[in-house]
Amino acid sequence: MRFLFVDRLIAVDPGRTIETLKNVSATEDVFDDHFPGYPIFPGALVIETFEQASQLLIGISHDFARVGTLRGVHRAAFRHFVRPGDQLRVRCERAGASELRSRADDATWTVSATAEVDGRRVASATLDLDVIEAVDEHKAHAERLREAVRVLRATPVDASGRGGFA
């Protein structure tokens, strides 16, 4: 992942679900072109946010010994614009997770992803991912995911001026 579109891990149930936050900042480069005078966070980057959250879920579920690679996106729907200043709350749930027992080692995952802003659904999609061993070139990717999880789970610093943590 060259650009990380996950700013915070909210909750993780390994093998089942993950919830993340993406703070959409007006200073992101994408808004220079998309669209001048009426900035909109591109739908392709919402899908990328879904994919990154899904990869984090797969990595966590396999203690980073396996990683996910995107095979396909289905039923993508975009209902409302995502604009600078919005906080995108993403939830990814492995399809059939309620029936799963110890099948976290399956070779493929189907993930249902939704994104909300202020409690209003703005996008959804279904992602198919292959789950592969983190060897060779995928080993470095697994280590980047592990480090991302460490950073994303950290308690944010309190910016109120009182000091301490939020």
Contact between 104 and 62 under an 8 Å Cβ cutoff? The reply is yes
Q: How far, CA to CA in Å, does 6 sit from each of 55, 74, 101?
A: 11, 21, 28
Q: Where are the beta strands (DSSP E) in the chain?
A: 8-13, 17-23, 66-78, 87-94, 108-117, 120-133
Whose CA is closest to 90, among 65, 117, 70, 68?
117
For residues 157 and 29, what is the distance between their CA atoms, to the nearest angstrom? 25
Decide if 138 is catalytic.
Answer: no
Residue with tokens 């301490």: 164
Q: Which of 34, 62, 138, 141 is catalytic?
A: 34
Catalytic residues: 34
